[in-house]
Amino acid sequence: MRIDIITIFPELFNPFLQLGIVKKALEKKTVDIRAHDLRNFALDKHRMVDDYPYGGGPGMVLKPEPIWRAVEQIPQPRRVVFLTPHGRTFDQEKAWEMAQLKNLVLICGRYEGVDERVREELVDEEISIGDYVLNGGEIPAMVIMEAVIRLLPEVLGDEDSVVGDSFYQGLLDHPHYTRPEEFKGYRVPGVLLSGDHKKIARWRKKESLRQTLLKRPDLIKKANLDPEDRDLLAEIEAEIEEGLGGKEDRNEKC
């Protein structure tokens, strides 16, 4: 996969590209990421990429010509995405869809945003990372890249595989524990120490359902639950009704 970023701050991406899983994916050549400095595509000797808004008012607007020139040098077929609070909110499903693309182009706005003609004529899709306003599209671009890159083949090792992650099966992930077995008087649930893989799998599924029911009931409604999941859910609901199955019951206090 190739990802091209169009930005006035390409240097913001340096640490992002030089560490962890993204660095590994670049080294393995699973992904090729190029951050283009929008100013290199400006038409004048001052490398101007923004100008005053027609009609007056505060702020500057990114000019259309440099963005157009920057996008046109990227090979086709390409999906051109503009990061903007106007866009569809990014989610795991969108990340999976983007992970299938060969060429993804991310345009990072700044100031008041970009000239509207870029959005209407050049952009295929608008994506937001949430209902709040940031200063630029660079952090949204990193959010999208990180979510997409970890889904590419052979990027994650077994130890951090995407299977079991939140949203993989439409549910939140189950709780995780590590050493020590006992911490401040709280013990790790006994089943996780039992070595019984069937029981552990059942416990994890049940706790994944419980987390989702308690924290994101909207996901439970949409999830594709099988009969066993429904039985577990009924057990959890009964426990909740009886006032059982809370944090105190699940963390075994010594």
| Catalytic (active-site) positions | 85, 112, 150, 165
Q: Quick check: 175 binds ligand SAM (CB under 6 A)?
A: no
- Binding to ligand SAM by CB under 6 A, coded x per residue (else -) over 73-112, reads ----------xxxx---------------------xxx-x
Token pair of 174, please? 């189950």
In this structure, the number of other CB atoms found within 10 A of the CB of residue 158 comes to: 6
Q: Which stretch binds ligand SAM (CB under 6 A): 135-143, 152-160, 175-183, 240-248?
A: 135-143
In this structure, the number of other CB atoms found within 10 A of the CB of residue 191 comes to: 15
CB of 132 to ligand SAM, least distance (A): 6
Token pair of 31, please? 């992904």
Which of 17, 134, 162, 192 contacts ligand SAM by CB under 6 A?
134
Q: Quick check: 140 binds ligand SAM (CB under 6 A)?
A: yes
CA nearest to 171, candidates 214, 201, 200? 214
CA dihedral 84, 221, 150, 100 (to 10 degrees): -70
Q: Residues 30, 36: contact at Cβ < 8 Å?
A: no
Any bridge partners for residue 114, and if so which?
62
Q: Quick check: 66 binds ligand SAM (CB under 6 A)?
A: no
Q: Which stretch binds ligand SAM (CB under 6 A): 4-12, 126-134, 147-155, 167-175?
A: 126-134
At 29, phi and psi to the nearest 5?
65, 30
Which of 10, 66, 113, 245 contacts ligand SAM by CB under 6 A?
113
Nearer to ligand SAM, 31 or 142 (CB): 142
Query: Residue 19: in which H helix or E strand, if any?
Result: none
Nearer to ligand SAM, 113 or 245 (CB): 113
Nearer to ligand SAM, 95 or 233 (CB): 95
CB of 2 to ligand SAM, least distance (A): 21
CB of 5 to ligand SAM, least distance (A): 12
Sequence-ordered list of residues with C-beta below 8 angstroms from that of 170, at least 6 positions apart, any chain: 219, 222, 223, 224
Which residue number is nearest to ligand SAM in terms of Cβ?
A: 109
Distance CA 233, CA 212 (A): 10
- Contacting positions for ligand SAM (CB under 6 A): 83-86, 108-110, 112-113, 128-130, 132-137, 140
